[in-house]
Amino acid sequence: MTEMVYGAVPVRDGEPILPKWWRTIDKWSVSCVLMLFGIGLLLGLAASPPLAEKNGFQPFHYVQRQAFFGTVALLAMMLTSMMSPQLVRRLAVIGFIVTFISLIFLPFFGTDFGKGATRWYSLGFASLQPSEFLKPGFVVVAAWMMAAGQEINGPPGLRLSFLLAIIIVTLLALQPDFGQACLVLFGWGVMYFVAGAPILLLMIMAALVVLAGSFAYSNSEHFARRIDGFLNPDVDPNTQLGFATNAIREGGFFGVGVGEGQVKWSLPDAHTDFIIAVAAEEYGLILVMCIIVLYAAIVLRSLTRLMRERDPFIRLAGTGLIAIFGVQAMINMGVAVRLLPAKGMTLPFVSYGGSSLIATGIAVGMLLAFTRSRPQGEIGDILRGRVR
């Protein structure tokens, strides 16, 4: 009877998991992710040898590590995308609890690797950044709370999720890691808007964010230094932003040629935070536009599929995940062209970084699981039924 009212996608009883996964997955998004990872390896071949030489490693040491972590990330993405939304939610809750506890103990057992911010656990053979894994878990937990709050006699999900977001943002700001804090707050704000938050409340929240930024500027030397560098009209050519800006200018439309770029010899973070500068210098605007199109395709495809989703939890969680994914890419590229203050944020699937690659793989795997075609009617079916 339900299928007669809402409509349904045909269900094939006893269908093996791989054919079912392939039939229901968003193949365009998967293809875009694979292309981004391939571009990341290509740029890693150009950007990482100078740093490897400086640190006494083989020329392609960091490329090999990126290939390894990227393979793990893609496997995690594929396996997660095969799960049901219910299983994704259960595992995300467990993962969130573990990463939240690790974030609390980070000031006592973490390290800053000389970068002035305690964000990592040193494992000897690698490092672990809990905030990267916390983001997808938080999005799913917050979406679960908001969806539960919409039910009759449900818990105050919006208020609980907001309280949780404030606690996490505070812990991240104390590291300090204002970039990840902004991502978490932005993801929550987008979900809150989708859940039906009034515009006035969102404007009040935006004002509070501005006040918090002013307070951080007055009390954090780390934050103030980055803001002052961004507002300064004259870019010091010997800073990371100066090198990146010059590299993008030199690249022009077609680039200076493969292996001919010079910015990788000057930037210590050429293979991570400023990888887009290497792309712009050696391959020009053409490759940069290709990267932007790939990110835009993933975001638009995901939002299009989520718009047809009836389950409030899946709509909210999927929207939060894709919002954080897209904004992180935008922030990374915006910093390189000096549209935004320096944030120390990687470019998803392109930049080097084990924690970032694997966590992004898990997050996109969750998104793919939420946007898979399932035997249910679309939300448009309900709206048309009400009109009749």
Which H helix or E strand runs over 283?
A: helix 275-307
Measure the CA–CA gap between 325 and 323, rounded to whole angstroms.
5
> Is 273 domain-assigned?
yes
> Is 281 domain-assigned?
yes
Asked if residues 365 and 81 have their Cβ atoms less than 8 Å apart, the reply is: yes
> Is 271 domain-assigned?
yes
Q: What's the whole-model pTM score?
A: 0.87
> Which residue in 129, 154, 138, 149 sits closest to 190, CA to CA?
138
Tokens of 240: 């990371």
> Is 22 domain-assigned?
no
Which H helix or E strand runs over 128?
A: strand 127-128
Q: Beta strands of 240-346 (E only): which ranges?
A: none
Cα atoms in the 13 Å half-sphere on the side-chain side of 342: 21
> Is 14 domain-assigned?
no
* pLDDT of amino acid 3: 42
pLDDT tens-digit map of 350-379: 998 888 999 999 999 999 999 998 765 555
* pLDDT of amino acid 380: 52
What's the distance, CA 189 to chain centroid?
A: 15
Domain of residue 281 covers: 36-373
Confidence of residue 2 (pLDDT cuts 50, 70, 90): very low
Residue 125 backbone dihedrals phi, psi, to 5 degrees: -85, -15
Residue 361 backbone dihedrals phi, psi, to 5 degrees: -60, -45
Asked if residues 316 and 146 have their Cβ atoms less than 8 Å apart, the reply is: yes
First vs last Cα of the chain: how many Å apart? 18
> Is 388 domain-assigned?
no
> Is 17 domain-assigned?
no
- Number of independent structural domains in the chain: 1
| pLDDT beyond 90 at 146 | yes
> Which residue in 85, 195, 185 sits closest to 140, CA to CA?
85
> Is 272 domain-assigned?
yes
Q: Helix/strand/coil (H, E, C) string of 136-178?
A: HHHHHHHHHHHHHHCCCCCCCHHHHHHHHHHHHHHHHHCCCCH
| pLDDT beyond 70 at 229 | no
> Which residue in 197, 195, 198 sits closest to 320, CA to CA?
195
